[in-house]
Amino acid sequence: MSDRARAERQSFDELQLLVGLLAEELAAFRVRALGAEQKLRQMTKEAASPSLFDAGTLQEKLGALEAENGEMRERRPARRIARGACWTECASCGSKLLQQKLQL
Higher pLDDT, 38 or 77: 38
- Mean pLDDT taken over the chain: 77
For the whole model, what pTM was predicted?
A: 0.41
Higher pLDDT, 101 or 8: 8
Query: What does the pLDDT read at residue 50?
Result: 62
Q: Which residues pair with 80 in a beta bridge?
A: 103
How many C-beta atoms lie closer than 10 Å to residue 80's C-beta? 13
* pLDDT class of 93 with cuts at 50, 70, 90: low
Arithmetic mean of pLDDT, 24-52: 86
Contact status, residue 99 vs residue 89, Cβ threshold 8 Å: no
Domain spans of the chain, in order of start: 1-48
The pLDDT tens digits for 66-81 are: 999 888 877 765 555 5
Give the whole-angstrom CA distance, residue 78 versus residue 103: 8
